[in-house]
Amino acid sequence: MVEMEYTTLGSTGLEVSRLCLGCMNFGSGAEWMLNDREESKEVIERAIDHGITFFDTANVYSRGESEEILGEALDDRREEFVIATKVYGRMREGPNGQGLSRRHVLEQAEASLDRLGTEYIDLYQIHRWDDGTPIAETLHALDTLVSEGKVRYIGASSMAAWKFAKALYTADIDNRERFVSMQCEYNLVDRHEEQNVLPLCRDQDVGVIPWSPLAGGFLADKYDPDEKPEDGRATTDEHTRNRFTEENWAVLDVVRELAEEKSVSPVELSIAWLLHKPGVDAPIVGPRTIDQLDGTVGALGVSLTDEEIERLEAPTEPVWSRAIGDV
Ligand SMILES: NC(=O)c1ccc[n+]([C@@H]2O[C@H](COP(=O)([O-])OP(=O)(O)OC[C@H]3O[C@@H](n4cnc5c(N)ncnc54)[C@H](OP(=O)(O)O)[C@@H]3O)[C@@H](O)[C@H]2O)c1
């Protein structure tokens, strides 16, 4: 077993494993999910065996199921782990069923604590920017949760950099808790955040925890440009299928070549690339099975030279546009 590495999240003293286990697959919200509570808990257990101490979920993942599963799995050892969850997405129809109003944030924090079966959330993240709520109101609500001891740190996810900068300076001006982490889409074929939020995070010492580090499985080299996918997430998930572009296949060709030269798998190489990027604390890996998890952690043992990193990045020129980045 490769030895787990640990780091501190952004500028905080919070120790986290360098791989975070994403829990979006644990639930029944979409066809490509695991949809088996016991198997989900076995994957979590295996992650713990690998030394993973950092777990990411969200209230909207299968409308609470993912949080429940994680809560049950970590139940008797909660203090050993760092639990991150999120708020923003729609949890019920009608007014105040979603968003970042004080009303919804406070209500959802209580609901997440219940489902996770814990007294505190380590990292409470805003899942998206809410154009309908002033950020000062959201920060006030988050600040309340921290003062009440229900939340330890606050984080953010996928948004335009100017909005995130506004959130950081509003927190400073209003003397509120500051976001300590940014969870954004980042992998070898989705590098748009290099032109958006990543330079800001480095400047502000905000920890980066990339989501979809394998581009939904595309970088696992399981699909063929000339064939309709018959297996895997791409069969039912449009976002994964949208990665089937000429430019992305060119990236995958380089991944495959270099992986072979280094005698590692495309999965290990792709995650290793992320682990080498400055400012990245912990990619949020999303294995659906124990075998996939076992095939991922080896990334920690893969070293890359500057030249190899340049080779992997050569086929694409990252561009930020709201359409792809502010999803
Ligand atoms: N903040 C946000 O907006 C946001 C958005 C998305 C995700 N996230 C977080 O990020 C986490 C990870 O995202 P993700 O699930 O999209 O990550 P990902 O690693 O890019 O994709 C995961 C999928 O790739 C395939 N896979 C994973 N490991 C593999 C391996 N070793 N070999 C072969 N295939 C493998 C599996 O798909 P198959 O079904 O094809 O086997 C798996 O379901 C989520 O759990 C969630 O916590 C956050």
Mark 242-258 as b/e (b = at least 16 C-beta within 10 Å). Answer: ebeeeebbebbebbeeb
In short, whether 157's Cβ falls inside 6 Å of ligand 1 is yes
Q: How many CA atoms lie within 13 A of 164 on its CB side?
A: 30
6: helix, strand or coil? strand
Report how far apart the first and last C-alpha atoms of the chain are (Å, whole number): 36
- Give this prediction's pTM: 0.98
211 lines ligand 1 (CB under 6 A): yes
Q: Which residue has the tokens 């805003």?
A: 126
Distance CA 229, CA 226 (A): 9
Enumerate residue ranges in the chain where pLDDT < 50: 327
- DSSP-assigned letter for residue 102: H
Q: How far apart are CA 296 and CA 267, in angstroms?
A: 6
295 Cβ inside 6 Å of ligand 1? yes
User: What pLDDT sits at residue 321?
Assistant: 82
Nearest-CA residue for ligand 1 atom 17 is 212
Q: Which atom of ligand 1 is nearest to the CA of 183?
A: 1
Per-residue pLDDT at 323: 64
Which residue, by CA, sits nearest to atom 4 of ligand 1? 211
CATH of domain 6-316: 3.20.20.100
Tracing tokens 């500028």 back to the chain, one arrives at: 11
pLDDT at 324: 61
3-state per-residue secondary structure call for 185-227: ECECCECHHHHCHHHHHHHHCCEECCECCCHHHHHHCCCCCCC
What are the tens digits of pLDDT across the range 184-228? 999 999 999 999 999 999 999 999 999 999 999 999 999 999 999
User: Which pLDDT value is given to residue 52?
Assistant: 98
Residue type for 56, please? D
284 lines ligand 1 (CB under 6 A): yes
Q: Does the beta carbon of 181 lie inside 6 Å of ligand 1?
A: no
| Cα–ligand 1 centroid distance for 288 (angstroms) | 8
pLDDT of the residue at 322: 73
The burial of 310, by beta-carbon neighbours within 10 Å (0-12 exposed, 13-18 middle, 19 or more buried), is given as exposed
In the chain, where the domains are located: 6-316
Q: Which ligand 1 atom is at minimum distance from the Cα of 58? A: 47
Tell me if 57 sits within 8 A of 23, measured CB to CB.
yes
Residue nearest to atom 29 of ligand 1 (CA): 292
**Contact predicate 108/151, CB 8 Å:** no
Instruction: Please choose from 187, 211, 218 the residue to mutate so as to test ligand 1's pocket, defined by most ligand atoms within 8 A of CB.
Output: 211
- Residue nearest to ligand 1 atom 9, measured at CA: 211
Q: Percent of the chain having pLDDT more than 70?
A: 98
In whole angstroms, give the CA distance from residue 287 to residue 129: 27
Q: Whose CA is nearest to atom 14 of ligand 1?
A: 212
Pair of tokens at residue 187 = 């992998």
Please report the pLDDT score of residue 326 as a whole number: 58
